[in-house]
Structure 1
Amino acid sequence: DCTKEDGTKCQNGVCLDSVCHCNDGFGGCNCQVP
């Protein structure tokens, strides 16, 4: 579960060991930034 303290979830990436690993081209805490 990669839900952050502010309630947002991992987007545009995969969750491994409670860390969001972004897909290529995405960034930010939850990979929400293109």
Structure 2
Amino acid sequence: MASQSQGIQQLLQAEKRAAEKVSEARKSIGIPWQLQH
């Protein structure tokens, strides 16, 4: 059970890092997010 919650924590951390990278890339490209939808 402990290892399962640890895996979930790692997943959340990776997801957060990915989201940060995406927003950074978006800023450097200069495309407003609204245009993507």
The TM-score range, normalised by the shorter chain, is under 0.3
Which structure has the highest helix share of the two?
Answer: 2
The answer to which structure, 1 or 2, has the higher relative contact order (CA under 8 A, 6+ apart) is 1
Structure whose CA Rg is larger = 2
